[in-house]
A = this chain, B = another copy of it.
Amino acid sequence: MKLSVKEYKLSAGRPIAIINKDIAHKLLVGVNDRISIRYNSKRIIAVVDLSSEIVNKNNIVLSSEITDYLGVKPHNEVLIEVANQSRSKAIITKKLRCEVLSEKEIFDVINSIVNNELSESEIAFFISSIYECGMSMNEIYWLTKAMFNTGNKLNLKSRKIVDKHSIGGIAGNRTTPIVVSICAATGLTFPKTSSRAITSAAGTADVMEAVCRVNFNVKELERIIKKTNACLAWGGTLGFAPADDKIIRVESQINIDPEPNLLASIMAKKLSVGSKYILIDIPYGKYAKVDKKGALKLKKKFEYLGKRFNLKLKAVITRGDEPIGNGVGPILELRDIMNVLKNDGPEELRDKCLYLSGEILELCGKSKKGQGHKLAERILISGKALEKFREIVEAQGGNAKNLDNLKLAKFSHTIFSDKNSKIKLIDNKKINLLARVAGSPDDKKAGVFIYRHINDKVKKGDSIITIYSQSKNKLKDAIDFYKENKIITLY
């Protein structure tokens, strides 16, 4: 059946088609059923909404997720058919019974996710099945492969493409922009794509967005990398491992992230940018995602996948007991980054960046074994990393001058120590939440400045943290949140 597209500009977060009730009756579909919509050679599966007012029997309203994908304009005609039941459903129920899936079965599920043949609930069942039953290393390898093969790929000529990934969760752990700048300054190609925060205060993409664009398509990104050797972009608009983007959106609803998905997600995205040299940073500790034992297990799994994909991959485990740096929140973290790049930043952030950069430089042969750290430090001190960072910001449409003038939020409140003591614990997860309550990451200036770290002495009246926000109400909420929770514990 052919229907004419009616203009509506509707963003629904998923492909939605609003059709007339009589048409639905004719097609024998109801609300929540799926139809296939074809335009020229492209096809997408959409979920049906019904209306007898918005549309008549000759037209159809499509959400922007569909019009963008198909490239249809108002008054174009699209071909509507009832979508077949996806074969993937049976595969998902198989995995729910904890059976092992084959390479083809995993590919079919991932491919159906990419083609919108599965609803978010069906994806939730798939995630649950992996969460409850786990996956063999073979299955994880196939999952990675399927995610990678169903997505876009960067096409870079360079032979030395490097990449890094830090398992998230540690507040203020904003090493990426610094590590990318140091490594790219040595001539390495570093096409770094990052996520936005899901539960933490800010992701690298949220931080970069405070000074430049982060949403590019593949062609634009290739141009930026050609210019600067590097980028610091958001992965969300690039279509690398698009199945993973959808899976993460469903996972984030309930805050679970099964290990096989975490592994496949990270690996598929590294493969998509074509990197051959990869460093994985796995922080462990009381408030990190994993403890030391878990970190070592995860390290082995990453290294196994690295081998199967013929990569030079190294996974390092690092301590993640407390926030790194002073700032938590986009602008506050950017200030830390600029301070480190200007050789005047928080020491533990500088140290971690030099360590990670050194490992990468050694991994790809830019420096001899044991000499990476020194080379990284030389580049940082020389100012070349700072220069590279400014270059990237400019290439991504920002004004590098703004980096020297990062203004703090309008409202702030400082918490002081009420005794002479020492810092005992800093709850990473709650620091993240505190920054979020203050408005981070949407409010770029919102966040928390932490003056002291674990085992630092404090005197009565010393500042412990300052909370920043552009909103008076949110600042108040954040102060209440601080008072109601044990976020920083003194001895």
Seen from chain A, the residues whose Cβ lies within 8 Å of a Cβ on chain B are 7-14, 16, 18, 21, 28, 30-32, 49-54, 63, 89, 92-93, 96, 119-125, 127-129, 131-133, 249-250, 253-256, 442
The answer to whether B49 and A253 touch across the interface, beta carbons within 8 angstroms, is: no
Distance of A28 Cα from B122 Cα, bound (Å) = 28
Shortest Cβ gap from A454 to chain B (Å): 27
* Minimal Cβ-Cβ distance residue in B for A12: B49
Residue from B8, B12, B255 in contact with A89 in the complex, judged by beta carbons closer than 8 Å: B255
- A133 contacts across to B, CB distance below 8 A: 132
- A96 contacts across to B, CB distance below 8 A: 128, 131-132, 254, 256
The answer to whether A9 and B49 touch across the interface, beta carbons within 8 angstroms, is: no
The answer to whether B125 and A132 touch across the interface, beta carbons within 8 angstroms, is: no
- A89 contacts across to B, CB distance below 8 A: 253-255
Residue from B16, B51, B92 in contact with A254 in the complex, judged by beta carbons closer than 8 Å: B92
The answer to whether B121 and A8 touch across the interface, beta carbons within 8 angstroms, is: no
Distance of A93 Cα from B128 Cα, bound (Å) = 10
Q: A49-B10, A254-B89 are in contact. Are A28 and B442 (CB under 8 A)?
A: yes
The answer to whether A51 and B92 touch across the interface, beta carbons within 8 angstroms, is: no
What are 14 inter-chain pairs, A to B, with CB distance below 8 A?
A8-B53, A8-B54, A10-B53, A10-B54, A11-B21, A11-B50, A13-B49, A14-B32, A96-B256, A121-B254, A124-B124, A125-B254, A125-B256, A132-B133
The answer to whether B92 and A9 touch across the interface, beta carbons within 8 angstroms, is: no
Distance of A131 Cα from B12 Cα, bound (Å) = 30
Distance of A254 Cα from B97 Cα, bound (Å) = 13
Distance of A9 Cα from B21 Cα, bound (Å) = 11
Distance of A21 Cα from B11 Cα, bound (Å) = 9
Distance of A1 Cα from B23 Cα, bound (Å) = 37
Main SS at interface, chain A: mixed
Shortest Cβ gap from A9 to chain B (Å): 4
Distance of A52 Cα from B9 Cα, bound (Å) = 7
Distance of A21 Cα from B63 Cα, bound (Å) = 14
- A9 contacts across to B, CB distance below 8 A: 51-54
- A120 contacts across to B, CB distance below 8 A: 119-121, 124
The answer to whether A53 and B255 touch across the interface, beta carbons within 8 angstroms, is: no
* Minimal Cβ-Cβ distance residue in B for A18: B10
Distance of A412 Cα from B13 Cα, bound (Å) = 45
Distance of A16 Cα from B7 Cα, bound (Å) = 19
Residue from B121, B255, B256 in contact with A124 in the complex, judged by beta carbons closer than 8 Å: B121
Shortest Cβ gap from A468 to chain B (Å): 17
The answer to whether B121 and A250 touch across the interface, beta carbons within 8 angstroms, is: yes
Distance of A327 Cα from B124 Cα, bound (Å) = 38
- A125 contacts across to B, CB distance below 8 A: 124, 127-128, 253-254, 256
The answer to whether B32 and A13 touch across the interface, beta carbons within 8 angstroms, is: yes
Shortest Cβ gap from A345 to chain B (Å): 31
- A12 contacts across to B, CB distance below 8 A: 16, 31, 49
Ordered nearest first, which 5 A-B pairs have the shortest CB separation? A128-B128, A13-B31, A124-B124, A121-B124, A132-B132
Distance of A49 Cα from B12 Cα, bound (Å) = 5
- A119 contacts across to B, CB distance below 8 A: 120, 253
Q: A11-B49, A119-B253 are in contact. List 16 more A-B contacts (CB 8 A).
A: A7-B53, A8-B54, A10-B49, A10-B50, A10-B51, A10-B54, A13-B30, A13-B49, A93-B255, A93-B256, A120-B124, A121-B121, A121-B254, A122-B254, A124-B125, A128-B128
Shortest Cβ gap from A89 to chain B (Å): 5
Distance of A298 Cα from B37 Cα, bound (Å) = 44
* Minimal Cβ-Cβ distance residue in B for A471: B28
Q: Which of A53, A93, A96 has the most CB of B within 10 A?
A: A96
* Minimal Cβ-Cβ distance residue in B for A49: B12
* Minimal Cβ-Cβ distance residue in B for A92: B254
Q: A9-B52, A32-B13, A53-B8 are in contact. Are A128 and B132 (CB under 8 A)?
A: yes
- A31 contacts across to B, CB distance below 8 A: 11-13
- A63 contacts across to B, CB distance below 8 A: 49
Shortest Cβ gap from A368 to chain B (Å): 47
Shortest Cβ gap from A6 to chain B (Å): 11
Distance of A114 Cα from B92 Cα, bound (Å) = 27
Distance of A177 Cα from B224 Cα, bound (Å) = 71
Distance of A28 Cα from B469 Cα, bound (Å) = 14
Distance of A304 Cα from B28 Cα, bound (Å) = 42
Distance of A11 Cα from B28 Cα, bound (Å) = 16
Shortest Cβ gap from A484 to chain B (Å): 15
Distance of A9 Cα from B50 Cα, bound (Å) = 8
Distance of A128 Cα from B250 Cα, bound (Å) = 14
Q: A31-B11, A32-B13, A50-B11 are in contact. Are A253 and B121 (CB under 8 A)?
A: yes
